[in-house]
Amino acid sequence: MDFYKYQGTGNDFVLIDDRNETFPSSNQALIEHLCHRRFGIGADGLILLQNDPDYDFRMVYFNADGAEGSMCGNGGRCIVRFAHDLGLFDSETRFRAVDGEHTAVVCEEDIFLKMGAVSGIEDREGLTFLNTGSPHVVRFVDDLESLDVVVEGRTIRYSSTLQPNGTNVNYAQVLDDNTVFVRTYERGVEDETYSCGTGVTAVALVAHQQLAMLDPIFIKTIGGNLRVSFNRLADGRFDDIYLIGPAKRVFAGTISL
């Protein structure tokens, strides 16, 4: 099987051209093996590019544990770059993901990915919660550099308040009037990742609501820099949300299944 490795601000993925739909997507153990950093290719997730009769392509995303996941923002930017590399579109595209339609524009290094609308930000027993295609909790801290994100994040990820599916957990520190440093504990990976697209989107919307930061909001992650633009409606909802940043091909190869 041919595969391709892409990364978006350090969030890395195995990309597979599955337009002939021959990949055994029901084999969770295989997907987990391919994502394993010691015994497989190594990635935060695996993404299939499939045909769709109404769109340029369909995105099917699996977490590193092999289970099919919710929307992945950095993965979305990576599959857009992959589809562009395959020649499926010129500069603008429409594709379908698990949470519905997305559009994107390729502009040299950056991918402008339109995210789904967000219905609002909730307080769940003291936790700031919202869904940006995946569920997220956002917490602002003063010293993010020294925080043990895995230990702290895991506690909230498995909190009884957010069961049965749990949540991703983002810790954020304000650096200046329009820049936030973000670190994320991702469910499915069950570890801190270098970056999380739906996570930084969640942080940006909360920073606007709670701290009056204006869009675009610039995000610093361990894996690189992103920015998020959006429109806030009078009823507290958000639309025209764009996750903007680089996505790059790292290498390609073949592997025996």
Residue 181's DSSP bridge partners are: 173, 220
This prediction's pTM: 0.96
| Spatial distance between the Cα atoms of 79 and 86, rounded to a whole number of angstroms | 10
| 2-113+247-254 and 122-244: identical CATH topology | yes
Identify the CATH homologous superfamily for domain 122-244: Diaminopimelate Epimerase; Chain A, domain 1 (3.10.310.10)
Contacts of residue 21, Cβ cutoff 8 Å, sequence gap at least 6: 50, 51
2-113+247-254, CATH topology level: Diaminopimelate Epimerase; Chain A, domain 1 (3.10.310)
Supply the residues annotated as catalytic.
Answer: 72, 196
Q: Where are the domains of the chain?
A: 2-113+247-254, 122-244
pLDDT 10s per residue in the chain (257 long)?
Answer: 999 999 999 999 999 999 999 999 999 999 999 999 999 999 999 999 999 999 999 999 999 999 999 999 999 999 999 999 999 999 999 999 999 999 999 999 999 999 999 999 999 999 999 999 999 999 999 999 999 999 999 999 999 989 899 999 999 999 999 999 999 999 999 999 999 999 999 999 999 999 999 999 999 999 999 999 999 999 999 999 999 999 999 999 999 88
